[in-house]
Chain A
């Protein structure tokens, strides 16, 4: 989602000395230590996704001050507050339009939205569609735990059919979204899905998506043992990890239409979409500006 124009300077940090490695974790500088402990429950996947994001930022070696994280409300929405970058914790569902305003107002910024499935696809669903349609230069990472975690386990637009939540006590009778399919149909330039046990692949995917001009979307399936897991007898985080391992099939380039999450069925992961045929918002905007300035210059 890097814009098509600003220059990217890579900065390779000096190797940590043995002393430094002994005293601190190599990722410490990416986190706000004074915000720890975090609020997440044992077994929550949000921390894994945060780790993948900061590893990606580290590997990209782009000046850290250019990175901005924007999130909405919810458990995942708290990620912004723990990362030691410029970070914005906005209103429920509105991270994408906030990030859009920020990115378009200053294309030098590299803006990543990290939020949950309820935030991005229920209350914020319309913004997702339009950001993807515009192909605006953002990366959106969705931590999908199939449920509203912060409010205690209510039905989400991603909850699989028949699953139990506190607002679907007799089983969910609403069809869930197939997020990669939605992203593709809306016009995203890059669409991938991973789980919290595919952290190396997820990290690489975040790096790739960050450098992609246009709108990128990564869905990360993530355990919520406290909310979703307990109600649906999914066991603890380790059981969910085992489940992800058994059920996941990586099919790069497969049709997202077939990637819907169904109870008991295989989970299709991978890079679904990686297209370059749709110029980004900033690219089209630049072309328009050239026309305007050129026209006025002729007068």
Chain B
């Protein structure tokens, strides 16, 4: 039992499912700091990791937690942390270090209401733009949002696979509702779980020859990642660096590096962007929602359909990179987008940008603390109001 991951049907909360998803994905290092509403995730990891040869360490704060998972990743372990609100704010600088050093890792942000200490025990979706832009500088990030307990399990596995494949921190935007909700979770046998591992170089070059930790020769823009202790004698820095990993403080190196860091995500958006359609085929009105709100939105669609309105749901599983192509396609044929989110308007701006005036865009906003009732989402549709 001690070396195995779980499989079968379980009744568990989202935080537990996310922990099990991480373990199933191969995560063997967790560094974290307790914070509501993510704490149960750390608690479960502290119990589970020692059973399966992994390492749990409770760090002194979220800054340290983020630094520790980067260090662990370079030591060769798939690593994760989990936090919320104030904690994710503290992690931002080292998320940037993860981006520029191209360090695979997963950060779960169980969103609660903010700003500041805000609503520690209640739901929010107010960190969506922070996930995209929270660390300074130009970069791209991958962020995924699960909407059910099963999805907490599934999406965390996806997050690890993207992190390993694209050599980047991946943020899982959970929310307080999914984290504490209990539902059935089906955990497949380990051999049925897709696990992607980072590419590694073939071995250190012969004595006297240089090694280039950031040289990519296969056209993917993602260089293979060596781990510490394997004899590569590499230098890894948060400064702008060349292919050798050496700091180069000039515009040309910056241009080449930042362009590649962004393009390796941008140009693979088709692979990374996951959305789910519900009754979209003939829809004239599209509700856009993600996370737990997508469940209220689904109910809203059903209610509207009963009233004879052609309403459908576009559920965003991948938040970043944004589902630009999908929204642009829909904008060609629908008349109204209703964006339902637990914030005062974040994703709605992205939708407006993609729709570019080709349809109307309305916001159905809750400011944190509770989910939308389906009727509240529907009230943004003029035909329903009338």
Contacts and interface: CB of A to CB of B under 8 A. Distances in A.
A61 interface: no
Contacts of A105: 28-29, 55, 71-72, 75-77, 79
Given A90-B97, A106-B75, A289-B50, A98 B229 contact: no
Contacts of A129: 60
A293 B51 CA distance: 6
Majority DSSP secondary structure for residues of B touching A: mixed
Given A86-B233, A101-B79, A91 B68 contact: no
Nearest to A109: B229
B247 interface: yes
A64 to B, nearest CB: 8
A98 B93 contact: no
B385 interface: no
A32 interface: yes
Nearest to A296: B2
Contacts of A104: 29, 55, 57, 68, 72
B61 interface: yes
Interface in A20-51: 32, 34-35
Nearest to B97: A91
A273 to B, nearest CB: 22
B29 A101 contact: yes
A88 interface: yes
Interface residues of A, number: 44
A97 B2 contact: no
A283 B233 CA distance: 28
Contacts of A88: 71, 74, 228, 235-237
A129 B70 CA distance: 20
Given A81-B246, A86-B232, A288-B50, A101 B71 contact: yes
Given A100-B59, A126-B61, A296-B2, 17 more contacts: A81-B235, A89-B238, A90-B97, A90-B238, A91-B97, A98-B71, A100-B57, A101-B29, A101-B67, A101-B68, A101-B75, A102-B75, A104-B72, A106-B229, A109-B228, A288-B50, A292-B51
Interface of B: 1-2, 28-29, 31, 50-51, 55, 57, 59-61, 63-65, 67-72, 74-77, 79, 93-94, 96-97, 210, 227-239, 246-247
